[in-house]
């Protein structure tokens, strides 16, 4: 069996690889390629060490167990092409598995290659139409999402990264960077609120036309079962994150006797901040929940809506305005409602309801 020094010199490959003849986890090395060039060390480790808590990642960096080119490095160090990163044996706090064991486990649920409807694509980034019901990335009980499927479908692509995120049940425009420079530029635009991001949503009730600005802090918390939730808090709450949504009422339908005398309003909501569940919580907190929302919505009405074809949340990333990260050109993308939401919109806003369909069992 080769000695440790000889093994390390020949083992500069992907994270978590364990030598065939080793009986326990050992140090591994990774050589930075074009896909990871320019990334911060902490973000690199969080991305690659699946299942390892962030607190543990930072502890590894501070203690010097993670090294770059044989030397200590800070969490905000930028990686260069060809840098060699030394990683200690790492186990997750939850399962006790190494990074490689987690990767092997993924073989039981292999990523299915998939391309999505493309709204725009060039050498810098692409904009796709994400369907509802598909997570943007793996995690939280999901083996894989949009980004893993696209990478699988494009095995020769050197770099593919999510620019931003959408909830699993939200459809519409999603950006994926094809260069790190494009990723950084686009994300900086989002952080600086230089983009215009507008959603279409259908809510229960007649939204007041004069309620146009929702400037209410949001606080994210966990239920006892570990499920994530968000609520509006007072401006003085230290846990509140500033959150701003601009609301425009596009149309309102007639009241429906079979739906508890409710009318439904179609809204355009432009978010100035990108908080978790922001639109859902802002609208629900102001008395108008989104149709079909299974977390903050009206569950009894949702059951009746399912009978007219709405089997998901009516929230769609419809319009996005940005500056091209390379050319500087102003760009606007539009993504129309899919057939399901379009049909439901016609039914609820024009009162084309079949009473028999809505009859409760």
Q: For residue range 234-258, what is the model confidence (pLDDT) as tens digits?
A: 999 999 999 999 999 999 998 888 7
The least confident of 255-269, 282-296, 307-321 is 255-269
Given a cut of 60, whether residue 219 has pLDDT beyond it is yes
Summarize the confidence of residues 133-142 as an average pLDDT. Answer: 78
pLDDT of 51 higher than 90: no
Q: Give the percent of the chain with pLDDT over 90.
A: 55
Q: Is the pLDDT of residue 139 over 80?
A: no
pLDDT tens readout for residues 82-95? 888 988 887 654 44
Q: Looking at residues 150-157, what average pLDDT do you find?
A: 93
Q: What average pLDDT does the segment 275-294 reach?
A: 96
C-alpha span between 1 and 269 (Å, rounded): 63
169: Cα within 13 Å, side-chain hemisphere:
17
Axis crossing angle, helix 41-48 with helix 54-62, rounded to the nearest 10: 130
Catalytic annotation, pick one of 33, 83, 167, 206 = 167
Highest mean pLDDT among 154-158, 173-177, 274-278: 173-177
- pLDDT at position 22 is 39
The answer on pLDDT for 1 being more than 60 is no
User: pTM higher than 0.85, yes or no?
Assistant: no
Fold of 4-106: 3.10.290
Q: Does domain 109-192 sit in CATH 3.30.2350.10?
A: yes
The answer to whether residue 199 scores a pLDDT higher than 90 is yes
Q: What CATH number labels 193-361?
A: 3.30.2350.10
Q: Does the CA dihedral 268-314-338-153 come out positive or negative?
A: positive
Fold match between domain 109-192 and domain 193-361: yes
What's the pLDDT tens digit per position in 162-188? 999 999 999 999 999 999 899 999 999
More confident residue, 50 or 156: 156
Tokens of 178: 């094809």
What are the residue boundaries of the structural domains of the chain, listed by start? 4-106, 109-192, 193-361
The pLDDT mean for the chain works out to 84
Cα–Cα dist 260/277, whole Å: 26
Contact between 146 and 135 under an 8 Å Cβ cutoff? The reply is yes
> Which residue is listed with tokens 């990333």?
317
The pLDDT assigned to 101 comes to 54
Supply 110's token pair.
């292999």
pLDDT single digits (tens) 5-49: 333 333 443 443 333 343 445 778 888 876 677 788 888 888 777
Distances from the Cα of 37 to the Cα of 43, 44, 272, 292, angstroms = 12, 10, 30, 42
11 compared with 309, residue with greater pLDDT = 309
Give residues with Cβ within 8 angstroms of 337, minimum separation 6: 200, 316, 318, 345
123 tagged catalytic = no
Instruction: Find the mean pLDDT for residues 57-81.
Output: 88
């Amino acid at each position: 069996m080769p000695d440790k020094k000889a093994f390390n010199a020949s083992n500069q490959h992907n994270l978590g690889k364990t030598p065939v003849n080793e009986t326990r986890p050992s140090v591994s090395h990774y050589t930075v390629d074009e896909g990871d060039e320019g990334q911060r060390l902490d973000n690199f480790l969080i991305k690659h060490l699946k299942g390892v808590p962030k607190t543990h990642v930072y502890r590894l960096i501070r203690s010097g167990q993670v090294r770059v080119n044989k030397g200590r490095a800070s969490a905000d160090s930028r990686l260069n092409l060809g840098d060699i990163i030394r990683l200690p044996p790492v186990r997750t706090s939850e399962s006790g598995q190494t990074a490689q064991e987690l990767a092997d486990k993924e073989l039981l649920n292999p990523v299915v290659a998939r391309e999505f409807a493309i709204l725009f694509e060039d050498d810098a980034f692409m904009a796709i139409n994400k369907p509802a019901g598909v997570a943007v990335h793996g995690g939280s009980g999901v083996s894989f999402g949009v980004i893993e499927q696209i990478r699988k479908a494009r095995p020769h692509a050197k770099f593919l990264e999510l620019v931003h995120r959408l909830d699993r049940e939200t459809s519409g425009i999603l950006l994926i960077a094809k260069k790190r420079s494009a990723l950084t530029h686009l994300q900086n635009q989002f952080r600086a609120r230089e983009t215009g991001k507008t959603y279409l949503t259908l809510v229960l009730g007649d939204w007041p036309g004069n309620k146009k600005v929702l400037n209410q802090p949001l606080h994210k918390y966990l239920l006892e079962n570990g499920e994530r939730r968000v609520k509006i808090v007072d401006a003085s709450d230290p846990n509140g994150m500033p959150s701003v949504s601009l609301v425009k009422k596009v149309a309102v339908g007639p009241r429906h006797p079979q739906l508890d005398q409710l009318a439904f309003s179609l809204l355009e909501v432009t978010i100035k901040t990108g908080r978790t569940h922001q639109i859902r919580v802002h609208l629900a907190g102001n008395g108008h929940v989104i149709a079909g929302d299974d977390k903050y919505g009206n569950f009894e009405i949702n059951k009746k809506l399912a009978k007219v074809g709405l089997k998901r949340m009516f929230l769609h990333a419809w319009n996005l305005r940005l500056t091209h990260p390379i050319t500087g050109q102003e760009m606007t993308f539009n993504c129309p409602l899919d057939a399901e939401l379009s049909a439901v919109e016609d039914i609820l806003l024009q009162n084309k309801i079949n009473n028999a369909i809505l009859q409760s069992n």
